[in-house]
Amino acid sequence: MAWCRGRLASVAVGVVLGGFAGAAPVPLSPEETVRHYLQDMKDGNFDDAYDLVSKAMRRGKDKEVWAKEQKAGMAFAEVKVFEFHVQPAKVEGDTARVPNILSSQDRFVNQLGLTEYELYTLVKEDGRWRVDQQTIVEP
């Protein structure tokens, strides 16, 4: 009988923990979205980055095509992201602007590896923040 009670307790704990594992993830903040996007791009996780960009930024492409294009573009430009420092967002309704300080190097735009100041514009789609635009700004 004790074995039966212990078994039922184990099943109950499994159901409770399993319920938490199946819960919907909490939406990322604008800053977290940019941080995840940049880390995914840096690490070459383009499939994951796809889930963080807006429909407009996807340009109607499915995940596989978009990810292949990003991979090819990053390789062709020989992009190396060293580090990034995401700054606090300014949110206005369903739009957020997130500054970032980027240390990177590439074959065309930043051959010397100078610090770049970026501004990411995010839009809220389906209740989640998505990267919609990236702009390089002067310091």
Buried b (16+ CB within 10 A) or exposed e, 8-35: eeeeeeeeeeeeeeeeeeeebbbbbbbb
Is 26-137 CATH 3.40.50.720? no
* pLDDT band, residue 53 (cuts 50/70/90): very high
Supply the pLDDT for residue 133: 98
Digit-coded pLDDT (tens) for 69-106: 999 999 999 999 999 999 999 999 999 999 999 999 99
Digit-coded pLDDT (tens) for 100-123: 999 999 999 999 999 999 999 999
Residue 12, pLDDT > 70, answer no
Supply the pLDDT for residue 19: 47
* pLDDT band, residue 25 (cuts 50/70/90): confident
**129 in Cβ contact with 122 (< 8 Å):** yes
Residue 1, pLDDT > 90, answer no
Supply the pLDDT for residue 138: 83
Supply the pLDDT for residue 139: 75
Write out the DSSP string of 80-104: EEEEEEEPPPEEETTEEEEEEEEEE
Token digits for 99? 């500054």
Domain boundary assignment for the chain: 26-137
Digit-coded pLDDT (tens) for 26-42: 999 999 999 999 999 99
